[in-house]
Structure 1
Amino acid sequence: MALRFATPEDAPRLISIYAPYILNTCITYEYTVPSVEEFAERIRSISSKMPYLLYESDGDILGYAYAAPHMTRAAYQWDAELSIYMNEQHHRGGIGTMLYKTLIALLKEQGYYNLYALISVPNDRSIGFHRSLGFEQVGVYPHTGYKLGRWNDLAILEYCTQPQLGHPVPTKSIHDLPKNRIEEIFETMQRVPQTLR
């Protein structure tokens, strides 16, 4: 079993997890399943600065989570938007919590302040998951996305990584973090018993 960074070569297996969310739910607002090449480029682009994590067991990827810029203007550079997708057979096993806690720990090390989750509602499971990790709902974009024959609201949840807001320094790339610190975070998160995650 391994918590690790995703690579472009993981694209086919990650698409197999993501595709049902596209085709059968409003959890993502994409309409069509991306090609392997497109998805691999997404992994490559995100991984150039931000963490893109997955959890693998016996060759099967059980879930993945990543961070992306929340908005693109310079003043938003301390904000990140988080996403997580789990293999449907592995919900409620603690893997999602471990992925998210690892993601949050890495982003804090990188110097991000505000982490956001944008959740199509109703989605009690995702709202509850995020609240259990300390996210708070700070707003709603009403009737924002049209999918599967209906308009959907988008809830905005926020997690602040820093106890006090001050004058921030530029964020670091995930590649600029000391390797031993990344390994320490990975090892710590994987040692926590699943029942406590």
Structure 2
Amino acid sequence: MIRDVNIQDAKQIVDIYNYYVLNSIVTLDLVPFSTQDFEEKIKTISNQFPFIVYEENNVLLGYAYANTFRTKPAYNNTVELTIYLKYDELGKQIGKKMYSELLDQLKKQNYHVVIGGLTLPNDASIKLHENLGFEKVAHFKEVGYKFNKWHDVGFWQLTF
């Protein structure tokens, strides 16, 4: 089931996210987050943008949200998207279902451009974005440093 996030989801969301903080380059965050950090994030983001979760048998398998792309007012119709799935739930089309729902909500709210930023390499996320019509528009080389290695970041864009 896809539904809107609520504050009680913070613990499960932080568990999903912190796995990637500690074990992968999917996020370039270096320090795990607390449940309180995600409670604040949920409050802040969900007041302005869609923030959804995928729940099955009372367990969150993933979450996705839109957020500010840049703070200057001229960017108000552009958002950046985030999606994370439980590491052991990949490959089950959950990401596609969540992103499709998120994109539908953003279209209804008259956003014009959505951006996905990806640490590279990330074949699964590239495939997800491109299958939904996103096009690669930027590639920044060696801009993030994690696990004693430099990482590239790419940006994919979808215009409604």
TM class by shorter-chain length? over 0.9
In structure 1, the gaps of 5 or more residues are: 162-197
C-alpha distance in 2 between matches for 1:73 and 1:141 = 22
Local SS of the residue matching 1:117: strand
For residues 17 and 71 of structure 1, the distance between their equivalents in structure 2, rounded to whole angstroms, comes to 26
Deviations 1:136-158 (A, max 9, x none): 00111221111111111110100
> What residue number does 1:107 align with?
106
Aligned match of 1:189:
none
The structure richer in strand per residue is 2
Confirm or deny: 8 A CA contact 2:118 2:125 kept in the other structure: yes
Deviation at 1:5, TM superposition (A): 0.6
Question: What is the TM-score of this pair, normalised by structure 2?
Answer: 0.97
TM-score by length of structure 1 reads 0.79
* Structure 1 equivalent of residue 78 of structure 2: 79
Residues of 1 paired with 2:96 and 2:122: CA distance?
17
Q: Could you give the per-residue CA deviations for residues 115-151 of structure 1, whole angstroms, max 9, x where no partner exists?
A: 0000011111111111011110011122111111111
- Counterparts of 1:59-78 in structure 2, within 5 Å, are 59-78=58-77
Deviation at 1:48, TM superposition (A): 0.5
Corresponding letter in the other structure for 1:28:
T
One-letter amino acid of the counterpart of residue 71, structure 1: R
Counterparts of 2:156 and 2:48, CA distance in 1: 23
Kindly provide the amino acid, as one letter, of the partner of residue 149 in structure 2. Answer: R
Q: What is the rounded CA distance, in whole Å, between the counterparts of 2:57 and 2:123 in structure 1?
A: 31
Unaligned runs of 5+ in 2: none
**Paired residue total:** 160
Aligned-partner SS, 2:157 = strand
Which is higher, the Rg of structure 1 or of structure 2? 1
Root-mean-square deviation (Å)? 0.9
Report the counterpart of residue 145 of structure 1 in structure 2: 144
Identity, % of aligned positions: 34
Where does 1:1-197 land on structure 2 (aligned, <5 Å)?
A: 2-161=1-160
Displacement of 1:69 after TM fit?
A: 0.7
The answer as to whether partners of 2:19 and 2:87 remain within 8 angstroms in 1 is: no
Deviation at residue 89 of structure 1 after TM alignment = 2.0
Off by >2 Å, runs of 4+ in structure 1: none
Shift of 1:94: 1.6
